[in-house]
Amino acid sequence: MALQAAQRPADDEALAALAQTGEQKAATELICRYRPFVRMIASHYFGASLEADDIVQEGLIGLLSAIYTYSPEKNAAFRTYCAACVTNAIRSAVKADAGRKNLPLNSYVSLEDIDIAADFSPEQIVISDEKTGYINRLIDRELSVLENDVLRLRLNGHDYRTTAQTLGISEKAVDNALQRVRSKLSKALNDY
């Protein structure tokens, strides 16, 4: 059933079947036929938080979904199925956007909760954060798992004995790991 040879327009169900086999002309024909229908459905949602064009675009996405997922075995006309897909796509987009509009309020942090040292400028804070990030990446990249564990425990205030007991190694192994950490980090930081 080729589109070009058809004397009368093909029905929507046949066009959907052709589109699903990769026939672009069939999909284009359905989009042209149903664009006004999509606009009509979308018009019921104008005034929602989304722009009118965005609502129509979501409806067109629903139309494409209908074209490529329609199955005549469901005993529904293509137009009925299309209306459901378009409506669901628009409703989902409007609902998702409504959730996003409250995002700034949901992620509110009081300025009193932010502890910024008065001696540092915003520029110095950003530079400090970048250096901290660099050092953390350097530690992850340069140190072995044991060296990383020893360093983290020591930085958290654990003494040699507690560090050794926690990791199940000797105090001498802790000392050796710290010596390697110092050597690796000082070399890497000198190269920075």
In a shared domain, residues 90 and 142: no
User: Could you tell me what percent of the chain has a pLDDT over 70?
Assistant: 77
- 111 domain-assigned: no
15: pLDDT strictly greater than 70: yes
In a shared domain, residues 172 and 134: yes
Three-state SS at 1: coil
| Closest C-alpha among 22, 14, 3 to residue 78 | 14
As for how many domains the chain has, the answer is 2
Kindly write down the DSSP assignment for every residue of 35-79, as one continuous string: HHHHHHHHHTTTTSSS-HHHHHHHHHHHHHHHHHH--GGG---HH
Domain extent for 152: 121-191
Distance CA 78, CA 65 (A): 12
In a shared domain, residues 91 and 16: yes
Q: Higher pLDDT residue, 13 or 142?
A: 13
In a shared domain, residues 71 and 126: no
In a shared domain, residues 149 and 74: no
- 114 domain-assigned: no
The residues, ordered by sequence, that sit 6+ positions from 144 with a Cβ below 8 Å of its Cβ are 180
In a shared domain, residues 175 and 126: yes
In a shared domain, residues 97 and 40: yes
- 179 domain-assigned: yes
- 7 domain-assigned: no
- Overall average pLDDT of the 82-105 stretch: 77
Q: pLDDT at position 83, please?
A: 92
The residues, ordered by sequence, that sit 6+ positions from 17 with a Cβ below 8 Å of its Cβ are 26, 72
- 26 domain-assigned: yes
- Overall average pLDDT of the 61-90 stretch: 89
Question: What's the token pair of residue 191?
Answer: 């190269």
Of 34, 68, 102, the domain-final residue: 102
pTM for the full predicted model: 0.49
- Overall average pLDDT of the 20-44 stretch: 90
Cα Rg for the chain, rounded, in angstroms?
A: 32
Kindly write down the DSSP assignment for every residue of 106-173, as one continuous string: HT---GGG----TTS-HHHHHHHHHHHHHHHHHHHHHS-HHHHHHHHHHHTT--HHHHHHHHTS-HHH
Distance CA 111, CA 116 (A): 10
CATH number of the domain where residue 170 is located: 1.10.10.10
Of 75, 102, 129, the domain-final residue: 102
| Closest C-alpha among 89, 63, 93, 57 to residue 78 | 63
In a shared domain, residues 98 and 126: no
How confident is residue 189, by pLDDT bands cut at 50, 70 and 90? Answer: low
Of 39, 71, 102, the domain-final residue: 102
CATH number of the domain where residue 27 is located: 1.10.1740.10
In a shared domain, residues 93 and 142: no
Distance CA 185, CA 192 (A): 10
- 1 domain-assigned: no
Question: What's the token pair of residue 52?
Answer: 């009118």
In a shared domain, residues 77 and 144: no
